[in-house]
Amino acid sequence: MSEKTQQVTLTSEKNQFDIALEQFDRAADLMELDSNSREILRKPQKVLSVSIPVRMDDGSIQVFDGFRSQHNNARGPYKGGITLNPKKLSNGELERLSRGFFAAISDIVGPEKDIPAPDVYTDPQTMAWFMDEFSKIRRYNAYGVVTGKPLNVGGSLGRGTATARGLVFTVEEAAKILNMDLSKTTAAVQGYGNAGAYTHMLLEDIGVKVVAVSDSQGGAYNAEGLSHSKVSAHKAKTTSVVGAEGAKSVSNEDLLELDVDILVPAALENQLTDKNASRVKAKVIAEAANGPTTPEADDALFRNGSMVIPDILANAGGVSVSYLEWVQNNQGYYWTAEEVDKKLKVIMVDAFKEVHNAAQKYNVNMRQGAYVHAIGKVAEAMKVRGWV
């Protein structure tokens, strides 16, 4: 959702939607996708636009725009995130806006047809408001209408670490293919939000030495390694990883070019481009962020022998556990954290192998392998259902 009068400043070199279409076209050409399937998949099946009037704390009414895009449901219900910027809103204003938005889109969402989830600036509390508003409209507790909820209203154990844990599972699989001994490897993590911080912790748990981390204010580097617990404590105290004990300063830009084995972009889009890709030394780039690598950088990294584990695979742990949360809601039975992690590992390892096999088959990078594999599954479902 965005305020009508809000001006959006584009800080990235390329529009993410245009990049997604370019990547789709590359894969479609590669797999010789028929023109009918291509035409259907290039456009969403439905995009709903709504206006939400919200009474602000000062008594005035402010109207916000809300959107829900439903792309393709050939293989099951729609699933995806939502965005809003809460920084200028009080908690009460945010709740009224959230409930108003969900009431406005309630006709097109539901446990069997479209299940939203948290995204930028939304959290378990937002999801609880959504679930409660939808439940009031439908007059029953519809826990399964959203995922990423608090535990006491149908959330799943393991959700908080899921994105990072799923990413680390894919790093382990990449290491097997590249014959890397993870206990002898180093890593750098750009971005220290939920995904970046937990990635640091989980890489440390499997023996990887994390030598650099960063956030929006800058970075910290220590060739001997950075302790997750110490860095996290420092950030909690100072609001940044900059100045962590025993660490030198490093910029977000320079962090990407450090001599490490594993690079985890966990911050913003378009961080690896044609301008810096040739200087990236990491052999494995695991994308925790959405869209951190441009198509031109993908090509350069592939030529240089680096394996990019693309965002739609590497950071799929979050949406995978969202799926597991939805399953638990539907069956009314909840798993332990260990059971959730075990199921997540099966999902991520299988997905990695399928994507790698597709990449090997077509002699392309892992991103194109992921797109070819995913597009093929949806296209086949559309064909079987008689859509094309």
Structure confidence by residue, pLDDT tens digits, 156-168: 999 999 999 999 9
- For 144, the token pair is 């399964």
Q: Is 239 a member of any domain?
A: yes
Instruction: Check residue 121 and give its pLDDT.
Output: 79
Contacts with 63 (C-beta within 8 Å, 6 or more apart), sequence order: 4, 51, 52, 53, 54
Q: Is 4 a member of any domain?
A: no
Which residue has tokens 């409660």? Answer: 132
Q: Is 19 a member of any domain?
A: no
Instruction: Check residue 13 and give its pLDDT.
Output: 56
Residues 83 and 163 in one domain: no
Q: Is 223 a member of any domain?
A: yes
Instruction: Check residue 15 and give its pLDDT.
Output: 78
Instruction: Check residue 85 and give its pLDDT.
Output: 73
Q: What span, in angstroms and rounded, lies between the C-alpha atoms of 31 and 99? A: 43
Contacts with 342 (C-beta within 8 Å, 6 or more apart), sequence order: none
pLDDT tens column, 365-375: 999 999 999 99
pLDDT tens column, 332-365: 999 999 999 999 999 999 999 999 999 999 999 9
Residues 320 and 195 in one domain: yes
Contacts with 145 (C-beta within 8 Å, 6 or more apart), sequence order: 109, 110, 111, 115, 116, 130, 131, 134, 135
Instruction: Check residue 10 and give its pLDDT.
Output: 37
pLDDT tens column, 135-182: 999 999 999 999 999 999 999 999 999 999 999 999 999 999 999 999
Q: What span, in angstroms and rounded, lies between the C-alpha atoms of 168 and 377? A: 25
Write phi, then psi, for 99 (nearest 5 degrees): -65, -40
Residues 192 and 302 in one domain: yes
With bands split at pLDDT 50, 70 and 90, how would you rate the model's confidence at 88?
Answer: confident
Which residue has tokens 């290491």? Answer: 175
Q: Is 11 a member of any domain?
A: no
Residues 229 and 174 in one domain: yes
Q: What is the pTM of this model?
A: 0.91
Instruction: Check residue 6 and give its pLDDT.
Output: 37
- The last residue of one of the domains, among 126, 153, 180, is 153
Q: Quick check: 301 pLDDT over 50?
A: yes
Q: Quick check: 2 pLDDT over 50?
A: no
pLDDT tens column, 179-197: 999 999 999 999 999 999 9
| Terminal CA-CA length for the chain | 34
pLDDT (mean) for 56-83:
92
- The last residue of one of the domains, among 105, 120, 153, is 153
* Total number of domains in the chain: 2
Residues 175 and 316 in one domain: yes
Domain hosting 376: range is 157-388
Residues 191 and 337 in one domain: yes
Beta partners for 51?
65
With bands split at pLDDT 50, 70 and 90, how would you rate the model's confidence at 9?
Answer: very low
Task: Identify which of 322, 310, 289 has the alpha carbon closest to the alpha carbon of residue 374.
Answer: 310
- The last residue of one of the domains, among 95, 128, 153, is 153
Residues 134 and 162 in one domain: no
Instruction: Check residue 58 and give its pLDDT.
Output: 97
Q: What span, in angstroms and rounded, lies between the C-alpha atoms of 379 and 370? A: 14
Mean confidence (pLDDT) of the chain: 94
The answer to whether the beta carbons of residues 282 and 264 sit under 8 Å apart is: no
Residues 190 and 132 in one domain: no
Q: Quick check: 217 pLDDT over 90?
A: yes
Which amino acid is it at 357? N
CA-only gyration radius of the chain, Å: 21
Instruction: Check residue 139 and give its pLDDT.
Output: 97
pLDDT tens column, 302-331: 999 999 999 999 999 999 999 999 999 999
What percent of the chain has pLDDT above 70?
96
pLDDT (mean) for 70-87:
86
Task: Kindly report the CATH number assigned to the domain that includes residue 80.
Answer: 3.40.50.10860
With bands split at pLDDT 50, 70 and 90, how would you rate the model's confidence at 262?
Answer: very high
Q: What span, in angstroms and rounded, lies between the C-alpha atoms of 27 and 298? A: 14
